[in-house]
Amino acid sequence: MTSNAMNAAKRPQVGLFATCLVDLFRPSVGFASVKLIEDAGCDVHVPVAQTCCGQPAYNSGDRADTREIAEQVIEAFEGFDFVVAPSGSCASMLKKHYPGLFAGDAAWEDRARKFSEKCHELVSFLADVMMVRNTGASLEGSVTYHDSCSGLRELGVREQPRKLLAQVRGADLKEMTDSDVCCGFGGTFCVKYSDISNAIVTKKVTNIDASGADMLLAGDLGCLMNMAGKLKRIGSKVEVRHVAEVLAGMTDKAPIAGGGK
Amino acid sequence: MELTSNRFKQNASKALVDAQLQKALGNVEKGFIAKRQKSADALPEFDALRDNARDIKNHVLAHLDLYLEAYETKVTAAGGHVHWAETAEDARRIVLDICKRVGARTVTKGKSMITEEIALNDHLTANGIEPVETDLGEYIIQLRGEHPSHIIAPAVHLNKDQVESDFRRVHTHLDAGRDLSEPVSLLSEAREVLRQRYFAADVGITGANFLIAETGTSVIVTNEGNGDLTQTLGKVHVVVASIEKIVPTLEDTSQILRVLARSATGQDMSVYTTFSTGPKRPEDPDGPDEYHVVLLDNGRSAMLGTEYQDMLRCIRCGACMNHCPVYHAVGGHAYGSVYPGPMGAVLTPSLNGIDETGQLPNASTFCGRCEAVCPMRIPLPKMMRHWREREFERNLQPAVARYGLKAWAFFAKRPKLYRLFAGMGMPVLSMMGGASHRFRSLPLAGGWTKYRDLPAPEGKTFQQQWAERQSRKPEAA
């Protein structure tokens, strides 16, 4: 064992589950996550055998494919001390929904349960597990925070991002009305029921605009892409970013769906 | 009512452009939610009461046969009659037979979703008996020939002006110049008209919020007192209730009552909570001469022991639909079924089969707000997902969605291949997005770009960039 590896063994070893949307659309969130987790005193690993958590299959009723994907994720990540995802919905899939996929298969059920105990959504991992109180970032301007549904209701992510944002120098948090109401994304829902999804996201962007904030933040890229896409379509100047980008002080890249009108 | 759940999408699209409906739905969103929250916040033990309520119903469902028989014994001992109805048709026949036997010409009705489920009004009307709805909302929609759009607020899709014009159209015996501009004047007029109907009615039909095994009592909760007049003034009181309404004791009833009105309207208790046990006794000043309970199964016993059993805990408070973003957007009629909203999305397929109702459990973002506010802690999204699984097993979903999902799963299960294609595709897509970093339209993404821009990818995938970064690190080897 090299001295580096020995040194590393003392630090928590974190497997970063980047999520498919971050991998494909917004790598910046992945790098912001890496920085935040490393700054919190952990080593970060990114297993190559990751694609998606399986939610598209799971929520379409395809349990067989979901289970195969879950097995793949568990095999790739179960060796780490923690598994962290910059998404409440994907983290909840790993943490809350994987064990149920293996009900009746004692060996896998136990494995999935042990795995699920290691899984965390990024911001709550920082605040609740690593006890991070200040990420040392700064930002000039006002932000508003949307509570993505799965993170909020399945994992209890609510105060953690707000407390950390409150410590970001120069950032002013302006709460929007109904920050805890769904944005209308819902995975495949937004294309299967596009008319209804549009009605829901229209209310959401009205509330975002009314908050007067310069920037919209949330912890889930799916919701962010939905809201950013709608904000840009109606010509809003609000910039949209994943909360990790702001907490990591990495806001140099163009915002989601670009800036300006 | 005619089941049009499979036209949900079309129904919804129409509802979304119905300006009057949209205005009315705004009241649902604003009114119910804040009231429930305030009421829940005012009761420190609210969540503990919810656990208790859930446990009571779980216990009942585990011993349903036992409690149903105990209930029947008590009803009979109090001088009432219990009728077992396996199907909606059985229930309709039983009620009609009772009405015919006593020579009924009109029946008054308390608000009851079960009689909607068995389409009782149509059946009575077809047999020459006039049903008169006495709940204000139910009365209004009866005048309009509509069905409830909400399980506790049946006329919530309407506004005051519509009700005024209906009253002017139907109450032609009243002064045409009367002032109906205030909601209270509409209420008074309905009361005045209905008061006469109570006295003329031969039979009063109500539902039940609870059936108490310990005492053989049926319980209704109302805010207008119409249910009390319905069940005490007629010669015959017929209770139509489904089998899962059973609770073991009076104490259990009180426990669940503490979460019912709070979850529904944010009241501590509904204005009237009425307990009925048997017909009028010799010493009673009033009450019906006959007391009947029609116990309806209609598919519920088949839910026991399945992944849908938890749905039988439902106490019909309506909190799930009050908090549902989809219900807020389209209202209750779009669901095309007796029970709208999240509880309907689970219950309707159980009662009517998934083939005719598959749209309902799919029309959810799984935001989880319904489960978060359900006083009985029913895992509604989980059960909607189970319905999607039943559909998937039988290939009931549209072919495009199935093949798309299978193609995606193929790659998701093969990380190397996935990385290869993602690594080639994303930089290209990123370049196509150009300086705006978004697309107004894109082939195959029409479902998305119809209403919103699609954010462009940043460039190389995270996996690609991470691999490059690792290869630059000397110690990474």
Considering the domain architecture, whether residues A115 and A217 belong to the same structural domain is answered as: no
- Residue A38 pLDDT more than 80? yes
The total domain count for chain A is 2
Instruction: Provide ipTM, 2 decimals.
Output: 0.95
Using an 8 Å CB-CB cutoff, list chain A residues near B408: 56-57
- Residue B476 pLDDT more than 50? no
Report how far residue B65's alpha carbon sits from residue B305's, in angstroms, rounded to the nearest whole number: 13
In chain B, positions 172-211, which contact chain A (CB-CB < 8 Å)? none
Partner residue facing B458 (CB), from A26, A51, A185? A26
Considering the domain architecture, whether residues A102 and A39 belong to the same structural domain is answered as: yes
Report how far residue A143's alpha carbon sits from residue B252's, in angstroms, rounded to the nearest whole number: 48
Name the region of B236 (left: φ>0; alpha: ψ -120 to 50; beta: rest).
beta
Considering the domain architecture, whether residues A202 and A231 belong to the same structural domain is answered as: yes
pLDDT in tens, B101-127: 999 999 999 999 999 999 999 999 999
How confident is the model at residue A224, as a pLDDT?
Answer: 98
Closest chain B residue by Cα to residue A192: B447
Q: How close B383 comes to chain A (CA, Å)?
A: 11
Considering the domain architecture, whether residues A147 and A210 belong to the same structural domain is answered as: yes
CB–CB contact B369 A182 (8 Å): yes
Q: Backbone phi, then psi, for B132, in 5-degree steps? A: -120, 115
Instruction: Show the tokens assigned to B115.
Output: 């009689």
Identify the burial level of B90 via C-beta atoms within 10 angstroms of its C-beta, where 0-12 means exposed, 13-18 middle and 19 or more buried.
middle
Partner residue facing A149 (CB), from B16, B367, B405? B367
Q: pLDDT category, B444, cuts 50, 70, 90?
A: confident
- Residue A8 pLDDT more than 60? no
A254 domain residue, yes or no: no
Among B81-95, B239-253, B401-415, name the one with the lowest average pLDDT.
B401-415
3-state secondary structure of A207: helix
- Residue A254 pLDDT more than 50? yes
Report how far residue B221's alpha carbon sits from residue B267's, in angstroms, rounded to the nearest whole number: 12
Closest chain B residue by Cα to residue A253: B458
Domain's final residue, options A80, A95, A127: A127
CB–CB contact A49 B413 (8 Å): no
- Neighbouring C-beta atoms of residue A128, cutoff 10 Å: 15
How confident is the model at residue A138, as a pLDDT?
Answer: 97
Q: Give residue A133's identity as a one-letter amino acid code.
A: R
Mean pLDDT confidence for B443-452: 91
Considering the domain architecture, whether residues A92 and A175 belong to the same structural domain is answered as: no
Considering the domain architecture, whether residues A113 and A208 belong to the same structural domain is answered as: no
CB–CB contact B367 A153 (8 Å): yes
User: DSSP secondary-structure letter at B310?
Assistant: G
Give percent of chain B above pLDDT 70.
99
- Neighbouring C-beta atoms of residue B23, cutoff 10 Å: 10
- Residue B217 pLDDT more than 60? yes
Tell me the CATH number at A186.
3.40.50.11810
Q: Tell me if chain A has a CB within 8 Å of the CB of B218.
A: no
Tell me the CATH number at A7.
3.40.50
pLDDT in tens, B352-382: 999 999 999 999 999 999 999 999 999 999 9
Domain's final residue, options A127, A159, A186: A127
Q: Which residues contact B31 (CB under 8 A, 6 or more apart)?
A: none
For chain B, list the domains and their CATH numbers: 43-302 (3.40.50.10420), 414-476 (no CATH)
Q: pLDDT category, A2, cuts 50, 70, 90?
A: very low
Considering the domain architecture, whether residues A54 and A23 belong to the same structural domain is answered as: yes
- Residue B184 pLDDT more than 50? yes
Single out the residue of B454, B366, B450, B380 nearest to residue A186, CA to CA. Answer: B366
Q: Tell me if chain A has a CB within 8 Å of the CB of B272.
A: no
Q: Which residues contact B167 (CB under 8 A, 6 or more apart)?
A: B143, B180, B186, B189, B190
How confident is the model at residue B400, as a pLDDT?
Answer: 85
pLDDT in tens, B10-36: 999 999 999 999 999 988 888 899 999
Partner residue facing A200 (CB), from B329, B412, B435? B329
Average pLDDT, chain B: 95
Considering the domain architecture, whether residues A12 and A82 belong to the same structural domain is answered as: yes
Q: Which residue has the tokens 């929007």?
A: A176
Considering the domain architecture, whether residues A116 and A192 belong to the same structural domain is answered as: no
**Which range of residues forms the domain containing residue A138?**
133-247
Report how far residue B230's alpha carbon sits from residue B228's, in angstroms, rounded to the nearest whole number: 5
Report how far residue B178's alpha carbon sits from residue A258's, in angstroms, rounded to the nearest whole number: 60
CB–CB contact A196 B16 (8 Å): yes
Report how far residue B237's alpha carbon sits from residue B293's, in angstroms, rounded to the nearest whole number: 8
Considering the domain architecture, whether residues A64 and A96 belong to the same structural domain is answered as: yes
Partner residue facing A195 (CB), from B12, B325, B366? B12
Report how far residue B90's alpha carbon sits from residue B80's, in angstroms, rounded to the nearest whole number: 19
How confident is the model at residue B475, as a pLDDT?
Answer: 60
A253 domain residue, yes or no: no
A259 domain residue, yes or no: no
Q: Give, in degrees to the nearest 5, the angle at Cα B195 between B192 and B196.
A: 100
Q: pLDDT category, B429, cuts 50, 70, 90?
A: very high
- Residue A261 pLDDT more than 90? no
Mean pLDDT confidence for B82-97: 98
Using an 8 Å CB-CB cutoff, list chain B residues near A150: 366, 368
pLDDT in tens, B383-399: 999 999 999 999 888 88
Q: Tell me if chain A has a CB within 8 Å of the CB of B390.
A: yes
Question: How many C-alpha atoms does A124 have within 13 Å on its Cβ side?
Answer: 23
Mean pLDDT confidence for B141-149: 97
3-state secondary structure of B136: helix
Q: Which residue has the tokens 């996996």?
A: B463
Using an 8 Å CB-CB cutoff, list chain A residues near B462: 18, 22-23, 27, 30-31, 46
CB–CB contact A201 B452 (8 Å): yes
- Residue A4 pLDDT more than 70? no
Report how far residue B299's alpha carbon sits from residue B247's, in angstroms, rounded to the nearest whole number: 19
Partner residue facing A196 (CB), from B326, B436, B457? B326
Bridge partner list, A43: A13
Mean pLDDT confidence for B423-449: 92
Q: How close A13 comes to chain B (CA, Å)?
A: 15
Considering the domain architecture, whether residues A66 and A110 belong to the same structural domain is answered as: yes
Mean pLDDT confidence for A224-243: 97
- Residue A6 pLDDT more than 70? no
Q: Give, in degrees to the nearest 5, the angle at Cα A228 between A222 and A230.
A: 105
Considering the domain architecture, whether residues A109 and A8 belong to the same structural domain is answered as: yes
Mean pLDDT confidence for A90-115: 97
A194 domain residue, yes or no: yes
Give percent of chain A above pLDDT 70.
96
- Residue B84 pLDDT more than 80? yes
Bridge partner list, B108: B132, B204
Partner residue facing B453 (CB), from A18, A26, A229? A229
- Residue A3 pLDDT more than 80? no
pLDDT in tens, A164-210: 999 999 999 999 999 999 999 999 999 999 999 999 999 999 999 99
Using an 8 Å CB-CB cutoff, list chain A residues near B461: 23-24, 27
- Neighbouring C-beta atoms of residue A164, cutoff 10 Å: 21
Domain's final residue, options A127, A156, A173: A127
- Residue A231 pLDDT more than 50? yes
